[in-house]
Amino acid sequence: RKEVEQDPGPFNVPEGATVAFNCTYSNSASQSFFWYRQDCRKEPKLLMSVYSSGNEDGRFTAQLNRASQYISLLIRDSKLSDSATYLCVVNLVTSGSARQLTFGSGTQLTVLP
Amino acid sequence: DAGITQSPRHKVTETGTPVTLRCHQTENHRYMYWYRQDPGHGLRLIHYSYGVKDTDKGEVSDGYSVSRSKTEDFLLTLESATSSQTSVYFCAITTSGPSSYNEQFFGPGTRLTVL
- Tell me the mean pLDDT per 10 residues along chain A, length 113: 85 96 88 92 93 89 93 97 96 62 92 96
B67, pLDDT greater than 80: yes
B102:A44 CB<8 A: no
Output the pLDDT for position A51. 80
8 Å CB contact between A34 and A89: yes
A32:B102 CB<8 A: yes
Q: What is the DSSP string of B68-107?
A: EEETTEEEEEESS--GGG-EEEEEEEE--STT----EEE-
Output the pLDDT for position A7. 87
Mutate which: A3, A45, A49, A99, vs B, most B CBs within 10 A: A99
Residue B71's region, left for phi above 0, alpha for psi from -120 to 50, else beta, is: alpha
CA distances from B39 to A8, A16, A34, B36, B78 (A): 11, 29, 21, 10, 20
Shortest alpha-carbon distance between residue A38 and chain B (Å): 11
Shortest alpha-carbon distance between residue A85 and chain B (Å): 11
The answer to whether A32 contacts chain B (CB < 8 Å) is yes
Output the pLDDT for position B76. 98
Shortest alpha-carbon distance between residue A78 and chain B (Å): 24
Q: How many CB pairs under 8 A join A and B?
A: 50
Mean per-residue pLDDT, B49-59: 91
The answer to whether A98 contacts chain B (CB < 8 Å) is yes
The answer to whether B31 contacts chain A (CB < 8 Å) is yes
CB within 8 Å of A34: residues ≥ 6 apart: A46, A47, A48, A49, A50, A88, A89, A90, A91, A101, B101, B103
Output the pLDDT for position A1. 66
The answer to whether B75 contacts chain A (CB < 8 Å) is no
C-alpha closest to that of A70 among A33, A24, A21, A3 = A24
The answer to whether A90 contacts chain B (CB < 8 Å) is no
B102:A98 CB<8 A: yes
B94:A46 CB<8 A: no
8 Å CB contact between B89 and B109: yes
Output the pLDDT for position B83. 96
Distance, in Å, from the CA atom of A36 to the CA atom of A4, rounded to the nearest integer, reads 14
Mutate which: A30, A43, A64, A90, vs B, most B CBs within 10 A: A43
Tens digit of each residue's pLDDT (9 = 90 or more) over A35-53: 999 999 899 999 998 988 7
8 Å CB contact between B23 and B85: no
Output the pLDDT for position A94. 56
8 Å CB contact between B34 and B89: yes
